Each structure stands twice: as structure tokens, then as C-alpha cells.
Amino acid sequence: MRIGFCDDDQAFLDLLALYCKECLPYIEYDGQVDVECLSSGEAILESYRKNKPYDILFLDLKMKPINGFETARQIRMFDNQVIIIFVTSLTDYVLKSFEYKPFWYLIKPVTQNHFRNVFMKAVAECLSANRAEYAFRTKAEGVMKLNIGSIIYLESQSRRIRLHTVDNDYYFYSGMTEEEEKLSKYDFIRVHKSYLVNPQYIKQINRTWLLLNDGERLPVSERRYKAVFDFFTDYMARSSLR
């Protein structure tokens, strides 16, 4: 699990890191926990460019030259799963941040109890998401397991499935209907006879195509459009209440 704290106030960063250290013994997680303190949004984006994403990110809003909103906007273009907690001294900013899908907010000054409450909620959400795995068998690698949240879409290529994830493509033999049955409980949408898509990565839908966060377009079949649109609208409503 990778946890990042980003603020241009070093004293405040040190305080959050101390709060975090005091909370870690109480989380039910046997894996490695890496905690990083960063002083700018650019430092976070550079970490993503090096393919080192975060699971939980505490992000100050009033940073320069790239503020927290712009940092979050760029992160959400290729990572829809990271849990973002905005940190701010201005409550008015809270109302402007919903489009970046924050998990929670911390209002400065941050007390130890308030931090612990939000931190433990974020860790529980992270562990819940990370436990969901998708298994498939490839000819070259045998049985493989991937985190559900890393899957962007599945494409049917005759009898072969192309599994497109945030960092790789995998190929295996199966039917799209069979894979749809496995993934429907995770809200994957069948937008076309050849495409099954994770709605976390959908930015826009119209009658003939959908736009992913990374700019790729996928076709939407005419006969499926209404069901797809209704499903995605409901998904977005449910996500905003989480």
C-alpha cells in the first residue's frame, strides 16, 4: 500500500506523517506500507509518470505552481481508483471539488482524532477495493490474477479476449458473455458486442462512442445505448454518494 502526503508546508507534512505513523499499528494489513511526503503537485505527477501510483493521497489544495485541484485533475485522467483526501483551510473549496471524486476532506488545523477517523476510513476502503481480484488463464503465463480496479476494458477478438489494463494487455481464450457474467457484479458495462468496460475509466458517453479518461474512444452500439446511458448515470449517482 502506498500512501502519499502532499503539502508545501513542511511542518504540516511532518505532523501528518507523525499522525500516520501512530495509526499504522492499528490497521489490519500484513503487506508493506510505504509512506511518502511530497512538497508539490509536480512531485506527485512525476511519481505517476514513473509508474508509481498511490493507493491513498492526502492533497493540499493551496499549493504552487500546481494547486491541488489541477494535480487531482491530471491524476484522474489515468487513475480513477486512488483515494484522494483534500486538505484545506478554506471550507469554500470543498464545494468546488466534487468533480475530482474526493473520498473525504480534512479542514486545517487537523487534530489527531480527526486525522485518525478519516485515515482509518480510507484504509478500510482501500483494502476492500484491493481484495477484489479477477482470475484468467493465458497460454504463456498460466493462471493470473489482477486487481479489478486495474482493468479498463475487455475486447473480444473472435474467440480471444484482449484484457486492457492500466499498465499492460493480456490475451486469453474465452467468450465475452462468460466474462461479462464474472464482472457484472463490479459494474462493468457491455457497451458493444465486442467491448466490456469498467465505468471507473469512462469520461463521456454519446450515442455512437464513449471516451475514456486517457482519451481513447470505444464504440457504443445503437441498440445498447439507452441501457448503457441509464446504467452509467445510475453508477455516477451511486459513486457520488460513497
* Residue 105: half-sphere exposure toward Cβ, Cα within 13 Å: 17
Average pLDDT over the chain reads: 88
Does pLDDT of 241 surpass 60? no
Burial 122-157 (b: 16+ CB within 10 A, else e): bbebbeeebeeebebeeeeeeeeebebbbbbbbbbe
Q: What structural domains does the chain harbor? A: 2-130 (3.40.50.2300), 133-240 (2.40.50.1020)
Does pLDDT of 19 surpass 80? yes
Residue with cell 511518502: 36
**Position 95 confidence tier, pLDDT thresholds 50, 70, 90:** low
Does pLDDT of 91 surpass 90? no
Quick: pLDDT tens for 121-176. Answer: 999 888 876 667 888 998 888 899 888 888 999 999 988 999 999 889 999 999 99
List Cβ neighbours of 64 (8 Å cut-off, separation of 6 or more). Answer: 8
Burial of 186 (0-12, 13-18, 19+ CB in 10 A): middle
Instruction: Say what the pLDDT of residue 24 is.
Output: 94
Q: What is the mean pLDDT of residues 225-235?
A: 89
In degrees and rounded to multiples of 5, residue 15 shows phi and psi of -65, -45
Q: What is the mean pLDDT of residues 190-197?
A: 96
Does pLDDT of 4 surpass 80? yes
C-beta separation of 147 from 130 below 8 A = yes
Instruction: Say what the pLDDT of residue 127 is.
Output: 80
Q: From CA 242, how far away is CA 233, in angstroms rounded?
A: 15
Q: Which residue has the higher pLDDT, 28 or 37?
A: 37
What percentage of residues in the chain have a pLDDT greater than 90?
55
Quick: pLDDT tens for 33-82. Answer: 999 999 999 999 999 888 788 999 999 988 888 999 999 989 888 777 78
**Position 96 confidence tier, pLDDT thresholds 50, 70, 90:** low
Does pLDDT of 6 surpass 90? yes
Instruction: Say what the pLDDT of residue 130 is.
Output: 60
Q: From CA 91, how far away is CA 230, in angstroms rounded?
A: 33
What percentage of residues in the chain have a pLDDT greater than 70?
93
Q: From CA 26, how far away is CA 115, in angstroms rounded?
A: 14
Nearest to 5, CA basis, from 51, 49, 70, 63: 63
**Position 110 confidence tier, pLDDT thresholds 50, 70, 90:** very high
Q: From CA 193, how far away is CA 33, in angstroms rounded?
A: 41
| DSSP letter string, 3-17 | EEEE-S-HHHHHHHH
Does pLDDT of 86 surpass 70? yes
